[in-house]
Amino acid sequence: MNAKHQSRSERQAHVMAQILQPEGWDTAQNILVILAHPDDPEFFCGATIARWTDAGHQVSYCLLTCGDKGTRDRQISGEKLCSIRHEEQKQAAQRLGVKGVRFLDFPDGYLVPDLALRKAITRVIREEKPDVVVTCDPQLLFVGDERINHPDHRAAGQACVDAIFPAARDHLYFPELLEEGLEPHIVREVWVSLPVEPNVFLDVTTLWERKIEAILCHKSQIPDENALRERMKNRLAKGSSPENPRYEEAFRRIRLG
């Protein structure tokens, strides 16, 4: 039906659908989250992940390291911490309805966007064949005025976008992957979390508590649960208040196909 022949109620319903479902996806999407460490998905975009799984989309994780250096405990080995963080991440993913978690187990803290990492991510993309990939912004160096963004985050974002385009798409990149039976794959959309220049803001107020509960699964990283809850409750969206809280997660959305 032509838009000019739509009734007022139909036009209002269409506008409301766009507000409630700004993604605009007509079918279930295969979404792959590629980030550096256990707990990155939950901290960066956990409420959005819950939003998508609740809507019937399939979400999987690929984590490039196991976070084996993320502790101040002098008594724990990196190997033991890696094992702990694997289990914590699986529990957190389950809270959000995530289908599966895979770890590439590159060394924590030493991640660089070299050809080895790009090839590893290209292999995962060709295996998983996602419609949508979520990663983080390689341009983000400082977080506000008080934090430096972890170098692994920047490396993960850079290697991921380099794998999406052009390596996963074009057969002459890493031809040995063809010998493994992994055909090229075109990712249709990239959603960049922690973006320097966001162009999408999702209202995730109703899912914020679920995000917090998923983060709290990462017990090895949270010395004070109450302090974490307070910090997350204070991340109010612009224009909201503690009396009428609203929470958002921001992305830069890039449509490739």
The full DSSP string for 108-177 is TT-----HHHHHHHHHHHHHH--SEEEEE-TT--EETTTEEPPHHHHHHHHHHHHIIIIITT-TTSSTHH
pLDDT of residue 22: 79
Determine phi and psi for 77, rounding to 5 degrees: -85, 160
pLDDT of residue 9: 52
Spatial distance between the Cα atoms of 156 and 121, rounded to a whole number of angstroms: 10
117 near 64, Cβ under 8 Å? yes
* Residues 202-234: tens digit of each pLDDT: 999 999 999 999 999 999 999 999 999 999 999
Supply the CATH classification number for the domain 28-255. Answer: 3.40.50.10320
State the pLDDT confidence band at 92, using cuts at 50, 70 and 90: very high
| pTM for this entry | 0.91
Indicate the pairing of strand 132-136 with strand 100-106. Answer: unpaired
Q: Is the pLDDT score of 1 beyond 60?
A: no
pLDDT of residue 8: 53
Q: Return the structure tokens found at 229.
A: 């809850």
Please measure the distance between the N-terminal and C-terminal CA atoms of the chain and give it in whole angstroms: 26
